[in-house]
Chain A
Amino acid sequence: MDDLYRELIIDRYQNPRFSGTLDPHTHSYEDDNPVCGDHIRIDLRVDDKDVVTEAKFTGEGCSISQASADLLMEKITGMPVAEVRTLAKQDILDLLGIELGPVRLKCALLSLKVLKGGVYGLDEVMSLDELAES
């Protein structure tokens, strides 16, 4: 019907590959999009070489927020943390392969915000607004 609901997004929303929690984990962080109440938690296992060996998410939210979380977990599995830190808005848009308006952009970026929160720790996290404008 249109780009926003392309097959990839619906498929990832309905059949996420990286949904769940990790116990034990090295990093765990969760956050909401206060505008719509979407919620995502991300658990990571980072090994002693600072590489993400496993990544999982749980959450509640629209197809865009959940599909982007699933795609993001796939992308960072096996990725050095140093590289994870450089991920930005455009990487998420590339994963989704669609253009997004300002409201849905924040849905898409929630998982990136949570990931950065988990990797950096609370203090240096960008707000969703800052991420959307980055």
Chain B
Amino acid sequence: MADTHTMDIKRIRADFPVLDVEVKPGVKLVYLDSGATSQKPVQVIERMNQYYRAENANIHRGVHKLAEQATEDYEGARGKIAKFINAAKSKEIVFTRNATESVNLVAHTWGRSNLQAGDVVVLTEMEHHANLVPWQMLANERGIRLEFIPVTEGGVLDMSALPGLLELKPKLVSFTAMSNVLGTITPVAEIVKAAHAAGALAMVDGAQSVPHLPTDVQALDIDFLVFSSHKMLGPTGLGVLYGKEALLEAMPPFMGGGDMIKRVKLREFSTAGVPHKFEAGTPAIAEVIGLGAAVDYLNEIGMEAIAAHDRELTAYALERLEEVPGVWIFGPGIEHKSSNASFTLKGAHPHDVAEILNRHGVATRAGHHCAMPVHEKFGVPATTRASFYLYNTKEEIDTLVEALYQVKEIFK
């Protein structure tokens, strides 16, 4: 397969210091676990380093030089992130601890002020626990009803079930744009449109999609989008919630404390405007600035090019894995997926597979990948997942496949 895009992988790899690590003498790291967390380019690491070395100050209200600079950089990063997903306004970007917290924020604030017993929330059978458990908690607490768009045998959403689910007049349809296990890319525009036509809001879990595919919240008319910094070259400890301004304005605050208020008296408070209403306490300032640098980096390479690269690698991985006798690949074919390949190998448990791959320097993940229901659906307790990003190469996939033959040798 010829390269169909113009990314200079060699140059990109040189930006990621960790890719030079040897997991043991003479065995170089082959990092195929970006679905769990991506590696960080030196531009992000250095930007955060610079903040702590020369710019560290708390944001907002400080009048000294560093505080002003830190505030400008923090809010500047918010602007970059808004632009990255084509949000209409910077204030529609709320910073949280992770994508999980972003879902919880919506469930707590929007959910508690809009959902009553018997109200329906539609999810899908392929959700990460992060977009499942918060809604289960709300179901336990106030009796909302959860319904699920089924997953087909082929590992895609059964869209024929959607009209029937929408007849239940759900208040919200919340779904992943890209499954972290199956790699399935879901028809976001179609689901959002159908949800809106039925009077429901649409929330998208973009933890996997935002790092790998161009995202345009206005074109897709998404009401809420959650994603995570650390899966898109940024630091850990930082998640993002995008929400349409009017929705965020109408929602009660999440956590109380400093920064989220306008005025406080001994027995009462009034809230700040969005997004600060949802950002109580000192936020992850260095991390936000780091994510801003990550977004600059992704923009420089171009999300279209990254999407094409990830897809090409995924196609190659599926092709190579299919050659290995005993390998069963989880999820749909390349026409519906990108960025990861989860599989089982006959006769070897996924943990043993991952452990032996590790001996060849190949970092993968084994388990249920925080998506137990979809594993149960397909009758496998666990899979081994190889996931790809802009710095990965076909040679690394070759190393994965060679190492799989070593696994077969041990478990023959």
A14–B349 Cα distance when bound, in Å, is 11
Q: A37 contacts B382, CB within 8 Å? A: yes
State whether A62 touches B381 (Cβ < 8 A).
Answer: no
Closest to B410 in A: A5
Complex interface: chain B residues within 8 A of A64 (CB): 351-352
- On whether the beta carbons of A10 and B410 are closer than 8 Å, the reply is yes
Q: Contacts A2-B359, A37-B382, A63-B352 known; A10 to B366 CB distance under 8 Å? A: no
**Size class of the B contact interface (CB-based, 8 Å):** 10 to 19
Whether A36 contacts B366 in the complex (CB less than 8 A), given A60-B381, A61-B349, A62-B349, comes out as yes
Contacts of A14 in B (CB 8 A): 347, 411
Chain B residues positioned under 8 Å from A69 (CB to CB)? none
Distance, CA A62 to CA B356, complexed state (A)? 12
* Shortest beta-carbon distance from B139 to chain A in Å: 22
Interface string of B394-412 (1 = CB under 8 A from A): 0000000000001001110
A35-B367 Cα distance, complex, nearest whole Å: 8
Q: A37-B381, A62-B351 are in contact. Are A1 and B406 (CB under 8 A)?
A: yes
Q: Is A25 an interface residue (CB 8 A)?
A: no
Given A37-B382, A62-B349, does the pair A104, B406 have CB atoms closer than 8 Å? no
Indicate whether A79 reaches chain B with its CB closer than 8 angstroms. no
A107: interface (CB < 8 Å): yes
Which residues of B have CB within 8 Å of A10?
A: 410-411
Partner of B351, one of A1, A5, A107: A107
Interface pair B410/A62, CB less than 8 Å apart: no
* Cβ-based interface call for A125 (8 A): no
- Using a CB-CB cutoff of 8 Å, which residues 323-379 of chain B contact chain A? 347-352, 355-356, 359, 366-368, 372
Q: A residues 24-48 with Cβ under 8 Å of B?
A: 35-39
Q: Are A37 and B355 within 8 A (Cβ)?
A: no
Q: Is the CB of A37 within 8 A of B368?
A: yes
Contacts of B368 in A (CB 8 A): 37
Q: Tell me which residues across on chain A come within 8 A of B406, comparing CB atoms.
A: 1
Q: Give every chain B residue within 8 A of A104 (Cβ-Cβ).
A: 355
For the complex formed, measure the closest distance between the CB of B208 and the CB atoms of chain A, giving whole angstroms.
21
Residues from chain B with Cβ under 8 Å of A37 in the complex: 367-368, 372, 381-382
